Amino acid sequence: MLIERHNAILELARQMGRVSVDDLAKRFEVSPQTIRKDLNELCERRLLARTHGGALLSSGIENVGYEARRIISSKEKADIGSSVAALIPDNASIFINIGTTTEAVAQALLQHHGLMVITNNLNVASLMRGYSQIEVVVAGGVLRHADGGIVGEAAVDFMRQFKVDFAVIGASAIDPDGSLLDYDYREVKVTKTIMENARHVILAADSTKFERTAPVRVGHLSQVTTLVTDRCPSPEFATIAKDSDTQLIETENLPAI
């Protein structure tokens, strides 16, 4: 039987996507050692997945709620967004797909001029709607109510009409071998089409994506021109990026602006 505190920790993880030892210790007024013991027990039951300093909701099948994903690593996502935007010049054509990190990129692009943005993300379209210097083209297809994403064969066919300068994509998880993973096979079809029809593919992914897993394969890091993340998980992964001829940008190592 789970103790009451365990149930409360699980509920917080469902709401936020991840929990930290220090925050939980303060919330429940117990020692960090007690919380670590709680997290270890929940991880042994496969209800959570342990990370450095805390734990993630353990789910290789179902994604964390969209609003919770907005909160997770929000500062890191903003930094990633700014770094990706710096790679994209004015007057470029861009695919932007579904994701909270790609939305951070869209936010950072709002002061660019002459952009043509093709997206299957209604949140991106809404964000850019009031900026007349940016032309926004929205894909047709099935609306996924959970996150405002447009998926399905109609969206795939729509994306095939274009050949753009840049594709800005996200991923729900990144395996240690460089595999890019997601949860919805319908979304994956759209993302693959986006990658195939862009001259430069930018993967925008915060470091929590290296701690997660998902069941559907999008592709491999070797299909990505540039990976922008806050922190690379290991020297071994950096070697995979180098061997894949993928530029690796870590925002935590960039000078402050």
Phi then psi for 161, rounded to 5 degrees?
A: -75, -15
What are the residues whose beta carbons fall under 8 Å from the beta carbon of 167, sequence distance 6 or more?
A: 94, 95, 97, 194, 195, 197, 198, 200, 201, 202
- Whether residue 72 sits in one domain with residue 53: no
- Looking at residue 223, its pLDDT comes to 98
- Looking at residue 61, its pLDDT comes to 43
**The pair of three-digit structure tokens given for residue 106, joined into one six-digit string:** 């869209």
Domain range holding 42?
4-58
- Looking at residue 212, its pLDDT comes to 82
- Whether residue 194 sits in one domain with residue 219: yes
* CA dihedral of residues 217, 220, 225, 226 (deg, nearest 10): 80
Residue 63 lies in a domain: no
- Whether residue 80 sits in one domain with residue 53: no
pTM of the full structure = 0.77
- Looking at residue 13, its pLDDT comes to 84
Domain with residue 37: its CATH number is 1.10.10.10
Average pLDDT by consecutive 10-residue portion of the chain (257 residues)?
Answer: 79 82 94 93 81 76 55 81 98 95 96 97 94 96 89 96 98 94 92 97 93 90 97 95 97 76
Q: How many residues does the chain have?
A: 257
Domain with residue 103: its CATH number is 3.40.50.1360
